[in-house]
Amino acid sequence: MTVPDASARIVRLEPRPHLPRGGLRDAQRPLELWGGLECSHVTIDGKIRDRLQQTGHQTRDDDLDRIAGLGIRIIRYPLLWAHAEGDGPPPADHARRLARLEALGITPIVGFLDHGAGPGGLLPTDPGFAPRLADLAQAVVRRFASLRHVTPINAPVTTARIACLYGQCEPHTRDTPTFLRHVAGYATATAEVMRRIRCLRPDAMLTQTEDVGRGFATDALADQAAYENERRFLGFDLLCGRVGEGHRFWTELTDAGIAVDTLAALAAAPCPPDIIGIDQYPTGDRFLDHRLERCPHEPVGGNGRQACVDVAAVRIPGLQGEAGLLARLREVKARHGLPIAVTEVHNGCTRAEQLRWLMEAWQATTAARQDRIDLRAVTVWSLFGTCDWNSMLRERRGFHESGAFDLRRDPPRPG
């Protein structure tokens, strides 16, 4: 690929005005190292891809001991909705797993839905989606009284983007109205889950994850980048009660068929995250370029009006200090002023480069704390690696990216 030269004019787009909600709440709080498991359960070409089954975690009882051996004391841990309602292979014994986590001194942040749909293909646009997910969450918390931390739906805007704009998984569409309906449905379901859980446990905490990679662009695509830079925060804005008639996406949301009453309910009873989770990858920040001849080996996309290529901003000269994790942490603090954790840190490369990326993330969060950003943790993601994520799970080539453990050995060895 030919990288655009440094003389190209790059548009740097600033976030919209904000009202910060405060700085560091506890300057002495130590930065924590969390862990997480990639647990996508998606349907592609009519076949389910179940990552917990594929990695073997469902049947390896000693995985939790391996995790504890790393010194991790907080973990993003899946209790998948699809498993609980029998879609796919039988679930592991959740009670036994949670009891073992407690015995090991590991606190789970429970997730019910990663990428994909609910049981039987239930979508967030279906009337039963929110109440059924809330039923599950309420039942889990009622049974496991020690549970306090949840991420009901992982990265909802990213999930909707993959499913509804890229067509990668259910419902396999490529249109903005469906995307917006999904994002609103995810927000409604998350708010309902937290309302139900807090009836049982008022101190329950929502850790809401999202990829907030920033878009940069040439002059010709400045408007598109500005649009996408607002779109990435839509899920947080809905949960925080910020989407009213003056919001950038109000007209698009209502034109997409989302009832004004639905939006008004979210605004009237905000459900802001207790912790905003930022999922960060080396290629998360993007650069839109209309000069197709400069990137002849990149796939061409567009917005229906302009053709462009979408490349990793890290490859573009002139963006040092504006791309990367520290810049995103500062941006999220400025916009929302809530506590933050880096909830995914992964690089699909050699073990040495993975460790280097993890250390860069740790250094960025340390620098963010010096800026008085309430930064809680950095998460090793994924502890047992990923498979075929280089194709967004579309291809079944068994392309394994090692995590903290390498699954190409039995038992898994430290990566």
Residue 389 is predicted with a pLDDT of 75
Sequential DSSP letters for 281-332: -TT-SEEEES-GGG-TTSPPEESSS-EEEEEEGGGSTT-TTTSSHHHHHHHH
Structural domain includes residue 301: no
Could you give the residue ranges of the DSSP H alpha helices within 291-380? 325-336, 351-370
Structural domain includes residue 170: yes
Structural domain includes residue 162: yes
Q: Taking each helix axis from N to C terminus, what angle separates 260-268 and 176-200, rounded to the nearest 10 degrees?
A: 40
For the chain, the domain total comes to 1
pTM for this entry? 0.91
Question: Which residues are bridge partners to 34 per DSSP?
Answer: 379
What is the Cα–Cα distance from 201 to 188, expressed in whole angstroms?
20
What's 53's domain CATH number? 3.20.20.80
Copy the structure tokens of residue 281: 């990858």
Question: Which residues are bridge partners to 11 per DSSP?
Answer: 217
Structural domain includes residue 123: yes
Residue 398 is predicted with a pLDDT of 79
Residue 34 is predicted with a pLDDT of 97
Residue 328 is predicted with a pLDDT of 97
Below-70 pLDDT ranges, the chain:
1-28, 87-92
Structural domain includes residue 298: no
Structural domain includes residue 392: yes
Question: 195-216 burial, b for 16+ CB within 10 Å, e for fewer?
Answer: ebbeeeeeebbbbbbbbbbbbb
Residues in contact with 263: Cβ distance below 8 Å, sequence separation at least 6, in sequence order: 184, 238, 243, 244, 250, 253, 254
What is the Cα–Cα distance from 43 to 121, expressed in whole angstroms?
8
What is the Cα–Cα distance from 10 to 222, expressed in whole angstroms?
9
Give me the phi and psi of 47, to 5 degrees please: -120, 140
Interval 255-297: pLDDT, tens: 999 999 999 999 999 999 999 999 999 999 999 999 999 999 9
Containing domain of residue 83, as a range? 26-286+318-414
Nearest to 282 by CA among 354, 373, 384, 369: 354
What is the Cα–Cα distance from 208 to 210, expressed in whole angstroms?
7
Structural domain includes residue 41: yes
Could you give the residue ranges of the DSSP H alpha helices within 151-175? 156-160
Residue 18 is predicted with a pLDDT of 37
Interval 346-384: pLDDT, tens: 988 888 899 999 999 999 999 999 999 999 999 999 899
Structural domain includes residue 304: no
Copy the structure tokens of residue 228: 């996408």
